[in-house]
Amino acid sequence: MKKNKYINLILLFICTICALYLFESNIYADDSLQKIITDDGKTDSVICKYFDNDDNKFKYKSINIKDIDKIRFKDNNISIQINNDNQYEYIQPDYKRKIHNITKLKDEWSTNKTALNVLSNYLKDNQDEVIVAVVDTGVEITHELLKDRLISGYDFIDHDDIANDKNGHGTHVAGIVAANTPENIKIMPIRAMDKYGYGYDSVLALGVYYAVKQGADVINLSFGGIGYSKYLDEALNYALDNNVLVVASAGNDSEDVSKFFPASKEEIIVVSSINELNDISLFSNYGNSIDICAPGSSIYSSSLDNQYSYMSGTSFASPFISSALALIKLEDKNRSPKEIEKILKMYTDDLGNEGYDNVFGYGSINFTNYVTVDKSFKIISPTSDIDINGKINIKYFSNGHIGDIIKFYFDNKLIDQKVIDSEGYNNYILQFEDKEFKAYNFRIELVHNNKVIYENKLKVKLLEYNTSFYMYDVNYKKIDDFEIQIYGIKDKNSKLVQRVNSNENGIAYTNLDEDIFRLYDRIVIITGGKQISENIDIPIYIKTIVSCGNKLLIPNNIQTVYLDEKMKNIREITINPFVNNYTIQPNNPIVKIIESEKPVYIECGSHVIKLHGWHSGSFEQYLYRLKGHGFNYIDDLHKDSVKLTYNINNLDDYICFSGSFVTNSKIAGCGIDTGCSFDGNLYFINYVNPGIYEFSIKRRIGGKDSTKYLRFRNTKKLKSNQEHNINVGKKLENSFLINYYNDIPQVIAIVNDEYNSILYNQYYDSMKLGLEYFYNVVLVDEKGVIHYSDCDFFNDNYYGYKEMIYNWSNIPDGNYTLKMIYSNLLKNLYDIKANEIKVTIKNGKFDLNKQNESPIVRTDINTCYKVKPFKTLKLDLKKVFNDKENDKLYYTINKGYIYNNIYYYRTAENELTDIKITANDLKGGSCTANLKIITEDTIQMNPDMEIDFTDWAEKQLDNEFSMKNNFIFRFLNDFKEVINN
């Protein structure tokens, strides 16, 4: 009986499995769907859109990783089992978005700059109602400012009708709307973000759908994050299709909005932030989807516990725009969204370049001179005294004045005039040329039949400079003595553009050519100067600027460096800024004097610092990379550092050493520098962080006073708690890399010593001398005729082989000996092993003499990776490429660094990066791997789901292992229990 029981159970199991699989569909993703991997293994959720056959409509579901971690793979694609014929349109990561707020600040400025109170007072007798939905962290429903302004909302985090705020961000946003609008503009609180200020796209989209269905006229979205979301985009389109105005904050990353969502969506209204000096806030994002700007620096509004506070961020610029849209809608509820948006953009003060630009959009809202359609004529902007650099964008409203003339006067002198040729809202760019830099009385007149029927007066100050800098210490005390270094970064190189010193009033003025922002990829300012060096309370500011204007340097993004008392010998820190994956080497070093047990304040970022001090009679240097944010506590650099020593006792020459961090694409520059040694005695001891370094070793030629050097370079990976010797060789040996791929004969020549230090084919004097001085690469034909080569610097994209490249033009076909001719200088200094290679020239290029198979990109690789800011992604290229002939592969890359076939990428920026790595066997074969790297500490991906970053899964996919799989799992467990018993 017991045996029959087992047999029956086994048969039941087999029948169950067969029956289940008869009704299932196995759907496989196409080849474009690729896994997304996290650097730390943490995962979260994905969103699936599917068609429910029972309800005959599309539905969405957010699925946590714990429900889908049993997804199988077949032929490198997802295999998801389903038990019905549901159609699955796409699957995507369920991104976490974050609120756009900065630290609380202490500076106060009036939000009346927007003049929303003028528009609000004008509409005070209007009895209609407009609803602004705030999709955020909720709202403190008992706050005195808000409690009478709220209508019913919903909490999508705790799933109830009370959207109470546990973070404070949503309360601050809602308070701005309440303070700038009358009571018949209602606020709908929707909690879709948690107490930490994060929210999933799946939940945020539900908040948008809810707002639309509950009658919202305006939806405010003060959040964002990296990565496009089709799911959230569909929700936003649903709102737009239902004539709801959608406002989003640009974000606080000082980056282009194109990589962020929803700020990159051009169909909605995207808001950047300005400061009290009418300039873009230094944290604000920018880009082509920016529509408008509003105050966002140090905004006073409601906070938790029935309190009020100051906060900064584009999060607090967008509710000003939401308020303005609601007011314009309130005036006439029949206005279309397009009409409302047009009116909004007219009531702006033009900032930045004349007209629209991608920093300020159409300008900063100002409703001081708001007019109704029955008004005859009115100047909309400017409305008050202004400072200009040569042009004014005059905005005006005209009704019934076709043919009338607008006249413009400076100090009662007519300088220009404009004939009105169209009705409604218009603008006119007024230019001032050859004017003295001073204040002028500016008058605008409207003339009808030679009679002035309208007049507007104000003062205009013509400025000599278009950019100014104001600086404050960590206590918000104004700094009077400082220096600004302005650098342009382009193509992995930096250049000092300007150096500006503050005047007696503590302001640094300069003129920046507008073209500079197009010429360079990024403009970075770095602060320095004697007072900054000696005053411990003054931070080192390192800011990206995207326009001319008034730059306010305040400590809203500062990290702290604190040295333990064990490091009391350290007296100085030199800072080399790390910006946009590039380490800048300031022309004028940025130095901070250390005071015992006091912190040093530096702009956030994984900057490289060099610490200096005397210890036991030696001058020690420590190279340290900051973690990028928060608190950097340095207690014992010896503990985790690499000590560098130098083995040069066998040489009588003067030797100089220097070493530098290797970053994504450029030697970091903030290096160690031992100066010179004599008879093996070093003046410096160096301790550095573990990591990859490139060392430059210079051997002086010709005695103590000579300025000529041989330079060697070596790349080393240094591990912590080790002592590393830098050796100098006595032997040289050459090798050749023949490029069979090129249309003309091409060779890479490498000369290295016995320690693999590569000799650079140059030396330093008052000028660079002939390259043939050290050696030359030649082809010798069968008759002994020498064919000399042309030499160029090697393509810098071939990382790890930054050598010389040699070409021959118009060389006859035939057999040759490839060899190197060394100079007598090298022969006298080194033991040389001269290697030769027999080669064939055919059809004007090197002939491989056999069929070559190109390397290929492996089909099982991941093409999208996630790494947190300040962390390093490491990728073994042997697992990316395969060459059947086992040829050595040489790589070109657009970003990152390759060392020993390992690809490294690290950045402090939140960004999506396209990586192209090309493998070349130099025999005519090559292939390229296209990868994506997401740098974001809030996006959480599922490592077991194959998804494509751009289109996600446009094919059919199931959303999870269905209930039947859970049943199978339980059945198997039960079956094991029966057998075990």
Choosing from 94, 136, 404, 753, the catalytic residue is 136
Contacts of residue 223, Cβ cutoff 8 Å, sequence gap at least 6: 97, 98, 99, 100, 135, 136, 193, 199, 204, 249, 315
Q: How many CB atoms lie within 10 A of CB 737?
A: 17
Q: Do 80 and 71 form a contact (C-beta atoms < 8 A)? A: yes
Q: Is 612 a catalytic residue?
A: no
894: Cα separation from own chain's centroid: 16
Q: Is 169 a catalytic residue?
A: yes
Structure tokens at 423: 């009705």
Q: Do 659 and 643 form a contact (C-beta atoms < 8 A)? A: no
Please spell the DSSP secondary structure of 628-666, one letter per residue: BSSEEEES-HHHH-EEEEEE-TT--S-EEEEEEEB-SSS
Cα separation, 475 vs 490, in Å, equals 35
The strand order across the sheet containing 890-893 reads 36-37, 864-867, 926-935, 911-920, 890-893
Cα separation, 941 vs 63, in Å, equals 11
Q: Is 315 a catalytic residue?
A: yes
The strand order across the sheet containing 439-448 reads 386-388, 451-462, 439-448, 405-410, 413-419
Closest C-alpha to 200, from 60, 301, 376, 408? 60
Structure tokens at 941: 């991906």
Q: Do 657 and 695 form a contact (C-beta atoms < 8 A)? A: yes
What DSSP element (H or E) covers 517?
A: helix 516-519
The strand order across the sheet containing 424-431 reads 377-381, 391-398, 424-431
Choosing from 297, 312, 315, 323, the catalytic residue is 315
Structure tokens at 607: 């900057």
- Cis before residue 295, ω within 30 degrees of 0? no
Closest C-alpha to 866, from 878, 875, 876? 875
- Cis before residue 599, ω within 30 degrees of 0? no
Rg of the chain (C-alpha set): 34
Contacts of residue 513, Cβ cutoff 8 Å, sequence gap at least 6: none
Contacts of residue 374, Cβ cutoff 8 Å, sequence gap at least 6: 399
Q: Do 82 and 91 form a contact (C-beta atoms < 8 A)? A: no
**Exposure on the CB side of residue 445, measured as CA atoms within 13 A:** 17
Choosing from 44, 62, 143, 169, the catalytic residue is 169
Active site residues: 136, 169, 315
